[in-house]
C-alpha cells in the first residue's frame, strides 16, 4: 500500500470538507427518560471531495491521476480539510507537541507564538499509518500553552512535530462498488466537472 498526497494543483469545490463519524450504541429509559450512549469504536474523520463545477482538461487530469493512483480502496489518500487548510488563529511558527497519554483530550503545544481558534486543525506526528493523528481544537488557545481537542488520542505521543499548514490524516476511498467516480463533460467546450467522492479515515 502507498500513501498518495492530494496534489497541490487540485482545487476542491463547494461542499468539500471533513466531518466526523462516531461508532457507538445508545438507549433510553422508558420510565425516567434518561439516555445512555457507549462508544464502541474509535471516531473517524470523513472526507468529502467535490470538483469545481467547471474545469479545463489539464485540471481534470490531476483529479483523474489521483483517482487512478489510489487504485480504488488499495492505497491511502493523505489530505487536509479543504475548507480550513491553515489555522484561523495567528499561530504560524514551528510547533512541537508536549506529549500526552492515550485517550488525552488536552496537551501542551510548544512554539507557535500566536493564537489558535476553535475548529483549527493540527497534525500530531509525521505523516504515516499509525504515526500521526489529526486533531481539531475545541476551544480558543494561545500557544505556547495548553490546547483542548477532539478526538481523544488513539496512542501516546511524545515530543513530536506539529503540522499546522495543511495538516493531514490518511483516508481510503469509501465507495462500495468497483467503479471510480466519473466526470461529466459539456460537449465541444472542453469543460469537465461533476466529481464527488467520500473517504473514510484509516490509520493502518
47: domain CATH number? 3.30.200.190
**Are 72 and 107 members of one domain?**
no
Q: Are residue 112 and residue 64 in the same domain, yes or no?
A: no
Shared domain for 31 and 15, answered yes or no, is yes
Q: Residue 188 has what pLDDT?
A: 57
pLDDT band, residue 29 (cuts 50/70/90): confident
Q: What CA–CA distance (Å, rounded) separates 61 from 159? A: 40
Q: What is the pLDDT of residue 186?
A: 64
* More confident call, 171 vs 54: 171
Give 69-98 pLDDT, tens digit per residue.
999 999 999 999 999 999 999 999 999 999
In a shared domain, residues 60 and 13: yes
Q: Is 168 exposed, middle or buried (0-12, 13-18, 19+ CB in 10 A)?
A: buried
Specify the number of domains making up the chain.
2
Cα angle: 34, vertex 39, 44; to 5 degrees: 135
pLDDT at 191: 65
Q: Are 141 and 98 in contact (CB under 8 A)?
A: no
Average pLDDT over residues 131-158: 98
How high is the pLDDT of residue 53? 83
User: What pLDDT digit, counting tens, does each position of 89-123 carry?
Assistant: 999 999 999 999 999 999 999 999 999 999 999 99
Does residue 134 register a pLDDT over 60? yes
Which residues fall within 8 angstroms of residue 150, CB to CB, at 6 or more apart?
A: 20, 43, 105, 135, 136, 138
Kindly state whether residues 7 and 72 are assigned to the same domain. Answer: yes
| pLDDT for the residue 175 | 72
pLDDT digits (tens, 9 = 90+) for 34-70: 887 787 889 999 999 999 888 888 888 899 999 999 9
Q: Structural domain of residue 116, as residue ranges?
A: 95-165
Confidence of residue 190 (pLDDT cuts 50, 70, 90): low
Amino acid at each position: 500500500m502507498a500513501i498518495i498526497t492530494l496534489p497541490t494543483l487540485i482545487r476542491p469545490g463547494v461542499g468539500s470538507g471533513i466531518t466526523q463519524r462516531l461508532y457507538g450504541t445508545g438507549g433510553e429509559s422508558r420510565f425516567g427518560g434518561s439516555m445512555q450512549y457507549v462508544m464502541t469504536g474509535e471516531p473517524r474523520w470523513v472526507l468529502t471531495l467535490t470538483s469545481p463545477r467547471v474545469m479545463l482538461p489539464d485540471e481534470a487530469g490531476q483529479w483523474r491521476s489521483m483517482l487512478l493512483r489510489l487504485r480504488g480502496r488499495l492505497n491511502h489518500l493523505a489530505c487536509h480539510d479543504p475548507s480550513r487548510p491553515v489555522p484561523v488563529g495567528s499561530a504560524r511558527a514551528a510547533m512541537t507537541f508536549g506529549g500526552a497519554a492515550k485517550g488525552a483530550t488536552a496537551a501542551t503545544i510548544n512554539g507557535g507564538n500566536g493564537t489558535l481558534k476553535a475548529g483549527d486543525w493540527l497534525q500530531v506526528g509525521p505523516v504515516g499509518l499509525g504515526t500521526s493523528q489529526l486533531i481539531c481544537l475545541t476551544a480558543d488557545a494561545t500557544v505556547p500553552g495548553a490546547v483542548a481537542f477532539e478526538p481523544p488520542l488513539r496512542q501516546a505521543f511524545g515530543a513530536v512535530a506539529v503540522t499546522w499548514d495543511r495538516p493531514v490524516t490518511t483516508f481510503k476511498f469509501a465507495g462500495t462498488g468497483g467503479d471510480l467516480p466519473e466526470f461529466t463533460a459539456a460537449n465541444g467546450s472542453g469543460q469537465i466537472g461533476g466529481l464527488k467522492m467520500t473517504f473514510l479515515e484509516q490509520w493502518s
